[in-house]
Structure 1
Amino acid sequence: MNKKNKKIESSLFPDLKIEAKYRSIDLFAGIGGIRLGFDRAFEDNIETVFVSEWDEHAQKTYAENFNDGLKISGDITKISNEEIPAFDICLAGFPCQAFSLAGKRMGFDDDYKGMSRGTLYAEVVRICEAHKPKVIFCENVKGLTMHDKGRTFKVILGSLEDLGYEVYYKVLNSKDFGVPQNRERIYIVAFRKDIDSSKFEFPESYGEKTVLKNIIEKKPVSVKYYLSSVYLNTLIQHKARHAAKGNGFGYEIREMDSIAGAIVCGGMGRERNLIVDNRLTDFTPVTNIKGQVNREFVRKMTPREWARLQGFPDTFKLSLADTHLYKQFGNSVTVPVIEAIARKIREVLDNA
């Protein structure tokens, strides 16, 4: 086992007990993508001591892949600061829900650090104000920077600065980090001000450039992933109607030597990332469909292929129904991007 994969394996099979240099908490954890990136970067020097995720299906996937005996807490708003162990690093892929700003005052004088108490990001602030970790790491959609004409983002940055942190942020694209997906996200890193973070910088890229053919299943996939002729025709007609109106909406078939568009929240948009896979030999349907299986070999990508688009290892277990898995990976993070940033964070902490 090479050094890079050592922590991945210890996360997935954690019978090996380690004394870690840094303790982390995983808020709005999803299926653990942020944690996995930090595990890769910090190796044996990080230990997760608290996990919170409210979605029961995501909890199942998380627990199956990080079998470390930790109880996954649900609604973070019902967890007191005292119930959370001391920690050094806060990982928070907080949901992109509407932020309540206090009108012309731009939110800084609202209920709690510029946010209504019902805003989930406020929970990150609450917990970090109580525990004062060394680092706070957040990930969100690129559009967060433009929400409410930029005032929402200003509230977020201001709240971290008010807590005593030096804040860095940057939009990075997953395609620059070894996965074939055009996915821009905003990443926020905040160091406690008693830590010299002056040399911190975000990574520019990480890993080799890849295309779809590098992540496609090596063996032919089930016929269930191939579109019915009726549905494919519906997509064609729908796209034609929008094109006639000058709109660009509609399905898209990706070339094998190209990259995917962003797989999106909720797992929707699979039709924007269709591929042609001519290895199918038996067109007999295995699900109820209208018409027959299309003869143009057009299919959706599988959940495992979506996992690879997000940089999850093939050892990551996918036991739930496809519907849940598509949603989970659409909502997740690109692990290699997280790993690359985490390596930069580790450099600062190890030299502090």
Structure 2
Amino acid sequence: MTSKNLSSQAPASARVLNYSICPVFVASHVAVELGWLEEELASVGASARYLGSLTRDEQNIAHHQHTLPFQIRDGGNIPPTWSHARGAENVVIGTTGFNSGGQIVVRADSGIYTLADLAGRKVALSRSNADYRADWWRANSEFGLLLLLRLGGLTFDDVELIEIPAIESTAHLPPVSRLSERWPQTERESLAFNLPEVVALGDGRVDAIFSNQGRSEILEKTGQFKVIEDLRRYPDWTLNAPSGPYLITASRTLLDQSPEIAIAFLKASIRAGRWIADNRREAAVILNRVTYQATAEDVLRDIADIDFVPSLSAQNIANLTSLKDFLFKHEYIKNDFEISSWIDGQFLKSALDDL
């Protein structure tokens, strides 16, 4: 099946794809920067609109709740899982594996060297009061901490969890046409150092925090913080479940009325994923514009083992299932559902066949 025989004639008003991409390691960033997303969409008579070109409220609602009928979102897995459980008609059409479930960071002078040293210590866990989105960072952190503590023979009963209120940014963000226009070095460092848990760690209110790969690298370079455990150093791929896989989700209306647009997005991402495999250093420069890592060299090191070509691999689906089960068990989502019913692989197959 190809994009031609999946295609249906949609009205001209429906030829604009609304899309957003999280600041994470996915091939669609490269497809945007190299012009391949625009090229593939143009080949089916469509164009793209980045959600960052909308008002702050509009982009936040659409990105987190998947509210637009002609929308694709690429990136973190918790918001689309949350929105689907709430009734959003979003569909998983591709995934990208990620090999870093997270780390535990402590102060460099804390005297903490192993997970066992965390017994009786204060561990931060953020909480957001925002009602328009999932508390995705808390969920990511709680799942990651659960696994990390288990590796040290500990449970949450062995540490003191300290809730740290999250801060919702109210800063005015001017409209942009792509994420790389909004992701300067100053903002990246601000996101790393001004995170409330990091502030609490620095001033001694807590002894440890959960962190992601890019943020941890920025913090360690100050000489004030260190990573004592990292889920990516284990051969067990299921430990990546707190952060991966990344998901490409599309609106059901888009898939029903203009499937060729979704296929065009996937083709651009597949092309970019294959190019990254042969051009890691050049790709690192591009991805450094849109992710947390401080330098392109950091990105190059971190993407060495990532397969950027979108897939629906059995491992990715298994980790997505584990994440969804965690979210339901810990009441981040109220409605359970079968992951298999959320995935539609025909569009990825068509994209691969077309290439």
Q: TM-score range by the shorter chain?
A: under 0.3
Structure of greater Rg = 1
Relative contact order, higher structure (CA 8 A, sep 6+)? 2
TM-score (norm 2): 0.26
Name the one with the larger helix percent. 2
